[in-house]
Amino acid sequence: MILFENELPFHQKYKAVAGIDEAGRGPLAGPVVVAAVILDGQKIMPRLNDSKKISAKLRERLFVEITEMALAYEIVSIPPEVIDEINILQASLLGMRKAAEKLKLKPDICLIDGNQIPIGMPCYAEAFVKGDGKLASIAAASILAKVSRDRQMDELHEKYPQYGFDKNRGYPTKSHLVALEKYGILPCHRKSYKPVQQMTLHF
């Protein structure tokens, strides 16, 4: 409820309010996934919260609710090779701009999680540090991004079960680093990240 109340002034001032957030900046493997969501300000989802603060089961339920109730949403994946080419910050900002541009309903304002606004946004935008815990639209975007990325990591797990992507989601856990050392670097690994860079010296 509070997240919707916090966002109310934007809905009173602007017709279409989009929230934007990403998932997967820190992992050594997999894409960074960005979501943009335009919620109906009249339809409150009381359980909506920052994706990191709720269970995987609730995230899945909310994913369905958000995609069914949102006025528009878009999910964009930026692959590891692009992350390696332009760096993770620029890849995240690129994903944010692309997600905003692809929305079927043109936003009047984009509320972005973080402290930077991508260049070339299709409308006026404001950035909010820890916005996913403050504003409903950003929280919704964080859930779409997180669930979408987790599903992609599950697919990678099916392909490369020895790396444990279904559990570590590509993050540099001890078991992931051991697997990396034992089995080598995959196409889905981010070669520009230091732990992977260090591994390339061994191969």
Phi (first) and psi of residue 75, to 5 degrees: -125, 130
For 58-105, what is each residue's pLDDT tens digit?
A: 999 999 999 999 999 999 999 999 999 999 999 999 999 999 999 999
Amino acid letter at 196?
A: V
Measured in residues, the chain has a length of: 203
Phi (first) and psi of residue 60, to 5 degrees: -65, -45
Handedness of CA 94, 95, 101, 102 (dihedral sign): positive
Residue 203 confidence (pLDDT): 45
Taking the model in full, what pTM does it have? 0.95
Contact by Cβ (8 Å): 135, 7: yes
Contact by Cβ (8 Å): 144, 39: no
Percent of the chain with pLDDT over 90: 91
Instruction: List the domains of the chain with CATH numbers.
Output: 2-154 (3.30.420.10)
Q: What does each C-alpha distance from 78 to 113, 126, 152, 164, 173 come to in angstroms?
A: 17, 22, 12, 21, 22
**What is the Cα–Cα distance from 203 to 184, expressed in whole angstroms?**
8
Residue 200 confidence (pLDDT): 64
Phi (first) and psi of residue 97, to 5 degrees: -65, -45
